Amino acid sequence: MADPALSHAPQPDGATGVLVLADGSVTWGRGFGAVGAAVGEVCFNTAMTGYQEVMTDPSYAAQIVTFTFPHIGNVGVNAEDVESHGVAGEVLGAVGCVVREDVTDPANFRSTGTFQQWLEAQGKIGLSGIDTRALTRRIRLSGAPNAVIAHDPKGKFDIPALIERARNWPGLEGMDLARTVSREGNEEWEGSVWHLGEGFTRPEAGTRPHVVAMDFGAKDNIFRNLVQAGADVTIVPAQTTLEAILDLKPAGVFLSNGPGDPAATGAYAVPVIQKLLERDVPIFGICLGHQMLALAAGARTTKMHQGHRGANHPVKRLADGVVEITSMNHGFAVDNAALPDTVEETHVSLFDGSNCGIAVKDKKAFGVQYHPEASPGPQDSFYLFEKFVGML
C-alpha cells in the first residue's frame, strides 16, 4: 500500500529528479550527481556519519539508499574513505541515494571534493528535497520496495516507463550479486588501518599467519583490520575453488561481506565452505560471509522485512551479556529459529532479536552479521579480528 505522502503528484516546477516505486508512487525532488536512471531496492540507513563509506560498500549493490540523517554531503569526499575498487578502478556500491536537504559546500579539512561531483564521476544518482521520514515510514510499514531513481537537468521523465521498469525488476531475493562485485583475480593485500596524520599504516615485519579471504563484495577496511590483528591476507574471487584455496596454504579462511541473496551465492560458495569445515580450517565470516558459513553448517537464511542498516545497532553477546554498538547493512538474516544442533547462537540484535552471530560447534569457525571493521563503537568489536588471528 502506498504511503499517502508518497502518492502520485504532478511534476512541480524545478523538479529535476524523481523516485518511482513499483507500486506506482511517484516522488519529485531535485536531482544531483549522475544524469540518467537506475533501478534497485530502496532501503534506509540511520547513520549520522560515513555516507561515503555507505555509498562505496559493495553490499549496497543494486540498492538506493535513503539517508535518514538530513545533512548528507556536508563534509565532502576524499579518496581515503572509499571502501571498494572495481575491476577497472570504478567504485562499487549503491546505485543512488535519497536525501532531505540540498547538499551544501563541504566544510571539513579532509575534503578533496564535493559529494555532488563525486557522485557524477562515479555514475551514481542523488535526489534531494525528499520527505525521507515519509519514505522511511513506508519501508517500515510495507517493506523495502523496488524503484527507479532518475535525474534529468531538463526535468523530462517518462513516468509510465519508469514505473514499468521498477515493476519488471525481479528484486534481490534469488539474486546472486556477489560474482558481479568480486575481484576477478587474486590480490595480495598491503596496508593496515588509517590513523589521522599518517594515512594507512604498514604492518610490522615478521612472520604472520596467512589468511585467504573470499571476496563476495568486501569492504577494504576489513582487510586492513585483519592485517592490524596480525595476519597476511590474500584475497581471492568469490567463485574460487577449494583446490585453489588450499594451494595457497591458508592458516585460515575469511568470508567477506557482500550483496544479494545468500542462498543464491551459496549455490557455489557453500560446498567450498563445507569442505573447509571438514578439514578443520579456521573460518571467520562477516555479514554475507556469516550467512554463507551458517548455510554451510546446515542453517537457513530469510529475507527481512526492512533490513538493518545503520551505525547504531546494539548487539548482545550472549556469552557474557556485553552489548556492542555495531554497524550493519543487511537485508537477509540467518533464521535463529531453525539453527541445527551443530550451530551455537553467539550474538543477537537488541532491536528485534534476530541473529547476529554464530559459532560452529567443535570447529574453529564463527561469524557475525554486523561490520566490526566499521568501528561505530568505536572499538567494541575489534576483538573479533584478534580472536580469528589467534586461532591460526
Phi, psi at 245, each rounded to 5°? -65, -45
- Residues 371, 252: Cα–Cα separation, whole Å: 19
- Exposed/middle/buried for residue 246 (C-beta within 10 Å: 0-12, 13-18, 19+): middle
- What is the Cα gyration radius of the chain? 21
Sign of CA dihedral 39, 166, 37, 46: negative
Beta strands in the chain (DSSP E): 17-21, 26-33, 36-45, 63-67, 96-98, 125-128, 146-151, 187-188, 194-195, 199-200, 210-215, 232-237, 252-255, 283-286, 301-317, 323-334, 343-349, 355-360, 365-368
Catalytic residue of the set 41, 53, 83, 373: 373
97 catalytic, yes or no?
no
- Residues 376, 355: Cα–Cα separation, whole Å: 19
313 catalytic, yes or no?
no
CA dihedral 44, 45, 48, 52 (to 10 degrees): -110
Beta strands in 274-349 (DSSP E): 283-286, 301-317, 323-334, 343-349
SS3 264: helix
Sign of CA dihedral 305, 310, 312, 313: positive
- Residues 25, 45: Cα–Cα separation, whole Å: 21
Contact 370, 334 (CB under 8 A): no
386 catalytic, yes or no?
no
- From residue 364, alpha-carbon distances to 256, 367, 391 in Å are 17, 10, 7
For residue 378, give the nearest of 329, 309, 327 by alpha carbon: 327
Catalytic residue of the set 290, 313, 347, 371: 371
Cell numbers linked to 315: 548487539
Catalytic residue of the set 43, 97, 287, 356: 287
Phi, psi at 297, each rounded to 5°? -90, 5
- Residues 375, 383: Cα–Cα separation, whole Å: 11
Residues classed as catalytic = 287, 371, 373
